[in-house]
Amino acid sequence: MSVRFGLTDDQKALRTGVRRLLERRFPREALRAAVDAPGRLDRELWRALGEAGFFALRLPEAEGGVGLGRPEAVLAFEEAGRALLPGPLVATHLAAGAVPGAAGGEVAVAAVDGELVEWLEAADVVRGDVRGAVPLRSVDPLTPLHRVPHPAAADPLAVLLTAAEQLGSAVRLRELAVQHARTRQQFGRPIGAFQAVQHLCADLLVRAETARAAVYAAAVTGDPGDIAAARLLADEAAVRGARDCLQVHGGMGFTWEADVHLHLKRAWVRAGRSGGVTESEELLAAALVR
Amino acid sequence: MDLSDTPEEAAFRARLREWLAEAVPAAGPEPDPADWPGRRAHDLGWQRTLYDAGYADVHWDASPALRMIFLEESEKAGAPYVGANFVGLLHAGPTIAAEGTDAQRARWLPPILRGEQVWCQGFSEPDAGSDLAALRTRARRDGDDYVVTGGKIWTSHAEVADWCELLVRTDPDAPRHRGITWLALPMDAAGVTVRPLRTLAGSTEFAEVFLDEVRVPAANRVGAENDGWRVTMVTLSFERGTAFVGEVVACRRVLRRLAGAARENGRWDDPVLRRALGRLDAEFRALWRLTQWNVSEATANGGVPGVAGSVFKLRYSTARQDLYDTAADVLGAGALDLDRPWVLDRLSSLSYTIAAGTSQIQRNIVAERMLGLPKGR
Q: Are residue B16 and residue B107 in the same domain, yes or no?
A: yes
Kindly report the backbone phi and psi dihedral angles of residue B121, in degrees, each rounded to the nearest multiple of 5, phi listed first: -115, 120
E strand or H helix at A115: strand A109-118
A208: which chain B residues are within 8 Å (Cβ-Cβ)?
none
Chain A residue with minimal CA distance to B311?
Answer: A206
The alpha carbon of residue A46 is apart from the nearest alpha carbon of chain B, in Å, by: 28
Domain end among A111, A137, A152: A152
CB-closest option in B1, B263, B286 to A71: B1
When divided into structural domains, chain A yields a total of 2
Residue B90: pLDDT band by 50, 70, 90 thresholds?
confident
The alpha carbon of residue B64 is apart from the nearest alpha carbon of chain A, in Å, by: 7
Domain end among A152, A176, A192: A152
The alpha carbon of residue B136 is apart from the nearest alpha carbon of chain A, in Å, by: 27
Q: Are residue A71 and residue A160 in the same domain, yes or no?
A: no
Residue-level pLDDT at B65: 84
Q: Are residue A13 and residue A145 in the same domain, yes or no?
A: yes
In a domain, B330, yes or no: yes
Residue-level pLDDT at B244: 82
Radius of gyration of chain A (CA): 19
Segment among A207-221, B53-67, B274-288, B361-375 with least mean pLDDT:
B53-67
Domain CATH for B294:
1.20.140.10
Domain CATH for B30:
1.10.540
B292: which chain A residues are within 8 Å (Cβ-Cβ)?
1-2, 5, 213, 217
Domain CATH for A175:
1.20.140.10
Does residue A134 sit in helix, strand or coil?
A: strand
Q: Are residue B261 and residue B179 in the same domain, yes or no?
A: no
Q: Are residue A90 and residue A210 in the same domain, yes or no?
A: no
What is the per-residue pLDDT across B125-177, written as a single tens digit (0 to 9) for each? 999 988 899 999 999 999 999 999 999 999 999 999 999 999 999 999 999 99
Residue-level pLDDT at A112: 96
Contact A8 B371 (CB under 8 A): no
Q: Which residues 85-104 on chain B approach chain A with CB closer than 8 angstroms?
A: none
- Residue A205, domain extent: 156-288
What is the per-residue pLDDT across A49-60, written as a single tens digit (0 to 9) for each? 999 999 999 999
Domain end among B85, B113, B141: B113
Domain CATH for A147:
1.10.540.10
Short-list A103, A116, A94, CA closest to A66: A103
AA letter at A179 = Q
Domain CATH for B129:
2.40.110.10
Q: Are residue B326 and residue B244 in the same domain, yes or no?
A: yes
Residues contacting residue B320 through CB under 8 Å, at least 6 positions apart: B247, B251, B349, B352
B360: which chain A residues are within 8 Å (Cβ-Cβ)?
195, 199
Kindly report the backbone phi and psi dihedral angles of residue B250, in degrees, each rounded to the nearest multiple of 5, phi listed first: -65, -40
Q: Are residue A145 and residue A24 in the same domain, yes or no?
A: yes
B297 has a pLDDT exceeding 90: no
- Contact (Cβ atoms closer than 8 angstroms) between residue B235 and residue B94: yes
Q: Are residue A192 and residue A74 in the same domain, yes or no?
A: no
Q: Report the Cα–Cα distance between both ends of chain B, in Å, rounded.
A: 39
Chain B residue with minimal CA distance to A203?
Answer: B363
Give CA torsion, residues B219, B224, B230, B231, to 10 deg: -30
Q: Provide the sign of the torsion angle of the four alpha carbons A271, A19, A156, A213, taken in this order.
A: negative
Short-list B93, B227, B105, B87, CA closest to B167: B227
3-state SS of chain B is CCCCCCHHHHHHHHHHHHHHHHHHHHCCCCCCCCCHHHHHHHHHHHHHHHHHHCCCCHHHHCCHHHHHHHHHHHHHCCCCCCHHHHHHHHHHHHHHHHHCCHHHHHHHHHHHHCCCCCEEEECCECCECCCHHHCCCEEEEECCEEEEEEEEEEEECHHHCCEEEEEEECCCCCCHHHCEEEEEEECCCCCEEEEEECCCCCCCCEEEEEEEEEEEEHHHEECCCCEHHHHHHHHHCHHHHCCCHHHHHHHHHHHHHHHHHHHHHCHHHCHHHHHHHHHHHHHHHHHHHHHHHHHHHHHHCCCCCCCHHHHHHHHHHHHHHHHHHHHHHHHHHHHHCCCCCCHHHHHHHHHCCCCCCCHHHHHHHHHHHHCCCCCCC
- Contact (Cβ atoms closer than 8 angstroms) between residue B347 and residue A242: no
What would the mean pLDDT of B204-230 be, rounded to a whole number? 96
Domain end among A117, A137, A152: A152
Look over chain B and give the mean of its residue pLDDT values, rounded to a whole number: 92
The alpha carbon of residue B299 is apart from the nearest alpha carbon of chain A, in Å, by: 6
Residue-level pLDDT at B63: 78
CB-closest option in A203, A220, A288 to B1: A220
Q: Are residue A8 and residue A140 in the same domain, yes or no?
A: yes
DSSP A105: T
Count of pairs with CB atoms under 8 A, one residue in A, one in B: 193
Does residue A109 sit in helix, strand or coil?
A: strand
Contact A214 B285 (CB under 8 A): yes
Distance (Å, rounded) from C-alpha A120 to C-alpha A124?
Answer: 9
Q: Are residue B250 and residue B348 in the same domain, yes or no?
A: yes
What is the per-residue pLDDT across B225-275, written as a single tens digit (0 to 9) for each? 999 999 998 776 555 567 788 899 999 999 999 999 999 999 999 999 999
In a domain, B292, yes or no: yes
- Pairing state of beta strands A185-186 and A189-190? antiparallel
**B183 strand-pairing partners:** B166, B221
Active site residue B239: yes
Residue-level pLDDT at B302: 65
Residue A274 burial (CB < 10 Å; 0-12/13-18/19+)? buried
Q: Are residue B164 and residue B242 in the same domain, yes or no?
A: no
B327: which chain A residues are within 8 Å (Cβ-Cβ)?
none
User: What b/e readout covers B152-180, taking b as 16+ CB neighbours within 10 angstroms?
Assistant: bbbbebbbbbbbbbbbbbbeeeeebeebb
B374: which chain A residues are within 8 Å (Cβ-Cβ)?
182, 189-190, 192-193
Measured between CB atoms, does A225 come within 8 Å of chain B? yes
Domain end among B63, B80, B113: B113
Listed as ranges, residues in chain A with pLDDT below 70 are 1-3
B299: which chain A residues are within 8 Å (Cβ-Cβ)?
3
The alpha carbon of residue B73 is apart from the nearest alpha carbon of chain A, in Å, by: 14
Q: Are residue A109 and residue A94 in the same domain, yes or no?
A: yes
What is the per-residue pLDDT across A223-258, written as a single tens digit (0 to 9) for each? 999 999 999 999 999 999 999 999 999 999 999 999
Cβ neighbours, 10 Å, residue B247 = 17
What would the mean pLDDT of B73-85 be, rounded to a whole number? 89
Residues contacting residue A19 through CB under 8 Å, at least 6 positions apart: A79, A82, A83
Q: Are residue B57 and residue B128 in the same domain, yes or no?
A: no
Q: Are residue B266 and residue B156 in the same domain, yes or no?
A: no
Distance (Å, rounded) from C-alpha B259 to C-alpha A237?
Answer: 26
When divided into structural domains, chain B yields a total of 3
Measured between CB atoms, does A233 come within 8 Å of chain B? yes
The alpha carbon of residue A47 is apart from the nearest alpha carbon of chain B, in Å, by: 29
Q: Are residue A114 and residue A200 in the same domain, yes or no?
A: no
Q: Which residues 32-91 on chain B approach chain A with CB closer than 8 angstroms?
A: 63-65, 68-69
Q: Are residue A31 and residue A140 in the same domain, yes or no?
A: yes
Q: Are residue A94 and residue A140 in the same domain, yes or no?
A: yes
Contact B375 A216 (CB under 8 A): no
A281: which chain B residues are within 8 Å (Cβ-Cβ)?
274-275, 278-279, 282
The percentage of chain B sitting over the pLDDT mark of 70, rounded to a whole number, equals 96
Measured between CB atoms, does A275 come within 8 Å of chain B? no
Distance (Å, rounded) from C-alpha B334 to C-alpha B327?
Answer: 10
- Pairing state of beta strands A109-118 and A125-127? parallel
Q: Are residue A38 and residue A163 in the same domain, yes or no?
A: no
- Residue B146, domain extent: 119-226
Q: Are residue A206 and residue A141 in the same domain, yes or no?
A: no
**DSSP codes, A142-205:** T--EEEEEEEEPPPHHHHHHHHHHHHHHHHHHHHHHHHHHHH-EETTEEGGGSHHHHHHHHHHH
Residue-level pLDDT at B298: 78
- Contact (Cβ atoms closer than 8 angstroms) between residue A229 and residue A192: no
**B125 strand-pairing partners:** B128
Look over chain A and give the mean of its residue pLDDT values, rounded to a whole number: 96
Q: Which residues 162-201 on chain A approach chain B with CB closer than 8 angstroms?
A: 174, 178, 181-182, 189-190, 192-195, 197-199, 201
Measured between CB atoms, does B359 come within 8 Å of chain A? no
Residue-level pLDDT at B57: 84
Residue-level pLDDT at B209: 97
One of B239, B247, B264, B297 is an active-site residue; which one?
A: B239
- Contact (Cβ atoms closer than 8 angstroms) between residue B184 and residue B220: yes
Chain B residue with minimal CA distance to A70?
Answer: B1
Contact B278 A288 (CB under 8 A): yes
Residue-level pLDDT at B203: 86
In a domain, B2, yes or no: no
CB-closest option in A4, A209, A228 to B282: A228
DSSP A11: H
Distance (Å, rounded) from C-alpha B73 to C-alpha B90?
Answer: 18
